[in-house]
Structure formats: structure tokens, C-alpha cells
Homo-oligomer: A and B are copies of this chain.
Amino acid sequence: MQIGEASRATGVSAKMIRHYEQIGLIPAADRRDSNYRDYGAEDVHRLGFIRRARDLGFSIAEIGDLLRLWGDRDRSSRDVKALTQSHIRELDAKIALLGEMRETLAHLVHCCDGDNRPDCPIIESLAGAAPISH
């Protein structure tokens, strides 16, 4: 099948399929006489794998590791589990950071009247100790 059909079948844009090939995440696709890329069931399967991993927030580098583990019959599930736990920790760190921002802002919003007057604890907090002189 052509790249467009493979894209539709997997939810990975044709643009990204070419990109993944270019950076070596997937092997170079077969070519027809027309020079069009040609994809088979295995390629589509691999692209589906990549899309699911991407949807779970794995980076390209991590997806490369996962693909290697996927293709390795002698892999230990320990390795996969460790990679995944490491990724969960990354997610937890991001969530914690965003959560802190969210709470700080929620507090400021709570303290802000939100009326027509200029007095605003949000701006004052961003401005820090001393107001600008004008």
C-alpha cells in the first residue's frame, strides 16, 4: 500500500512516517517503480506500535528502545518494565510541576476580584516587590 493508506490505517501522518524513516526509527520502505514507498502488514503493525507508544507520551528515543525490545525474542520483561517505570517517573515529575503552577495560579485567581478596577494580586505577584515607576 502507499504511504497515504498506511497513514490512514495507523493514524500516523505521512509526513511523520517519512520522518521516522529518515531518522532511522523504522527501516527504509520498499519502493515501487514509480519511486513511491510501499508498505506491507508488518510495516503497518510497526507504525501502529509507534502511534500507541507516542500516545502514551514516550519520546522517539524511548520508542526506539521499545521497538528493539519488541523485536528481541530474548528480551526480559524486566527491561520493558524498567523503561516504562522510568517514563512514569518522568510523567509524574511533569504532572507535579504543572500541578504546582496550577495551584499557585488558582490561589491568585481566588484572591483577585476580577472587576473593573486595576488592583490585581495576580499582576502584583508577577511584579514582585516593587512596582514599576512611571
Contact = CB atoms under 8 A, between A and B. Distances in A.
Interface of A: 42, 45-46, 48-49, 52-53, 55-57, 66, 69-78, 80-82, 84-85, 87-88, 91-92, 94-95, 98-99, 101-102, 104-106, 108-109, 112-120, 122-123, 125-128, 130, 132-134
Give the secondary structure class of A's interface.
helix
A105 B87 contact: yes
B77 A132 contact: no
A88 B105 contact: yes
B95 A102 contact: yes
In the assembly, how many copies of this chain are there?
2
Given A49-B126, A88-B102, 15 more contacts: A45-B128, A53-B126, A56-B101, A56-B105, A72-B118, A76-B118, A77-B112, A77-B120, A84-B112, A88-B106, A91-B101, A91-B105, A94-B98, A95-B98, A95-B102
16 contacts: A45-B128, A48-B127, A48-B128, A69-B123, A71-B132, A72-B118, A75-B118, A75-B123, A76-B115, A76-B117, A77-B120, A81-B112, A81-B122, A87-B105, A91-B101, A91-B102
